[in-house]
Structure 1
Amino acid sequence: MENTSTPVSTTSVGLRYGLLTGIVSIIYSFILLAANLEQNTALSLLGIVILIGGIFLAHKNYKENNGGFMSYGQGLGIGVILSLVSGLLGGIFRYVYMEFIDPSAAQRAIEQTRAKMEEAGNMSDAQIDQAIQMSQRFATGPIGIAVAILGSALIGFLLTLIIAAITKHNRPEFE
């Protein structure tokens, strides 16, 4: 099997697929936010499926352009870069959406979180207020963007540990 394509780097594939995965995630997040479904756990977990799909497609593209080979480390690098870029785009989108497009979305999320905490019944009102205040600090502004990037990178890293083990195809040592 002769491969005539130009080899690509892990960084270029990670950036390209990070942008694509980020855009798809933003569109999906916008639909959830606009429909007031962002607190639905099952629908929110679909965002992880988008990330998994992006990582698989990035690994496939890398192997297609590198003679069918990709080491575990290369797969891990692609997944982490992809997750960082996707997280950055998602964090910026959430900030813009919550600050400028629909500021009431943040208040709705707070009210839904408070209702869930009160329903659980294992916290006093003062503890709930304190928890809500703390979560607001980490969910807004530049700190919110940083938390989104770090969260996405961590989840992407953990997923990529598994995905890269499945998709790797090492180059034979004595070729």
Structure 2
Amino acid sequence: MDKSALISKLAIKNGLMLAAVSIIISLTLHFIDPVLIYTSFATQIGIFVLFIVLLVVVGINIRKEIGGFWTFGEAFKAYLIISLILALTATLYNVILVKFIDPDLPQRAAAAIEEAQRAMMEKFGMASEQIDEAIAKGGNMQEKLEPTFKNIFTSFGVSLALYGVLSLILSAILKKKQPVTFDSFPKEG
């Protein structure tokens, strides 16, 4: 198997594995507290850091399996495949979660988000009128969380864009050129 095909195969395998991990984490958090992911900044940061670590580990493992060296382009290809799998899986999972598993989630999450925003603004000493105005400016949160075509498409696009930027950064960090050895120079005469 040539190197490019091997990279694709390993990226698909690892992308599916990371997608499964993502779904397990999401379901676990959902069963602990369905609105936790929407209201806890610490949880969101923790999941983000965990996935960066997992993406680095996966990248290093793929690089080892293809011989220990890869160019920026090869690394980016692998991460792009993984990103596409993760974005598709997350989008499908969210649609299934909100349509079939927990149809009341957008309503409960919107209420929890508004409550968390209100509490934060009160801590900063804002008056009730200012808080109401700020929350009204944010728009209808429940509409933003409903699985409409526009929201699904937007969610997928934002996920893919974020993973794309992360892919560029990780590819630049994890690229590794094969060292030039004396064996690679042509022998004279």
State the TM-score, normalizing by the size of structure 2: 0.74
- 1:168 maps to what in 2? 175
Unaligned runs of 5+ in 2: 185-189
CA RMSD of superposed structures (Å):
2.7
Is the partner of 1:58 in helix, strand or coil? helix
- 1:149 maps to what in 2? 156
- 2:187 maps to what in 1? none
In the superposition, relative to structure 1, how do residues 77 and 58 fare at CA in structure 2: closer, same or farther (>3 Å)?
same
Give the letter for the 1:30 counterpart. Answer: L
TM superposition shift of 1:164: 2.0
State the TM-score, normalizing by the size of structure 1: 0.79
- 2:48 maps to what in 1? 48
Q: Kindly provide the CA deviation profile for residues 4-57 of structure 1, in whole angstroms up to 9, marking residues without a partner as x.
A: x97444332332222111111111111112222222111122322343233223
- 1:17 maps to what in 2? 14
Greater shift in the superposed pair: 163-172 or 142-151:
142-151
Counterparts of residues 37-116 of structure 1 (less than 5 Å): 37-38=36-37, 39-116=39-116
TM superposition shift of 1:143: 3.2
Counterparts of 1:26 and 1:35 in 2: how far apart (Å)? 14
- Contact 2:12/2:85 (<8 A) preserved: yes
Give the letter for the 2:158 counterpart. Answer: G
Counterparts of 2:118 and 2:9 in 1: how far apart (Å)? 47
Give the letter for the 2:164 counterpart. Answer: F
- Contact 1:88/1:149 (<8 A) preserved: yes
Greater shift in the superposed pair: 144-153 or 39-48:
144-153
Greater shift in the superposed pair: 25-34 or 50-59:
50-59
- 2:32 maps to what in 1? 35
- Contact 1:25/1:50 (<8 A) preserved: no
TM superposition shift of 1:96: 0.9
- Contact 1:11/1:81 (<8 A) preserved: yes
- Contact 2:98/2:146 (<8 A) preserved: no
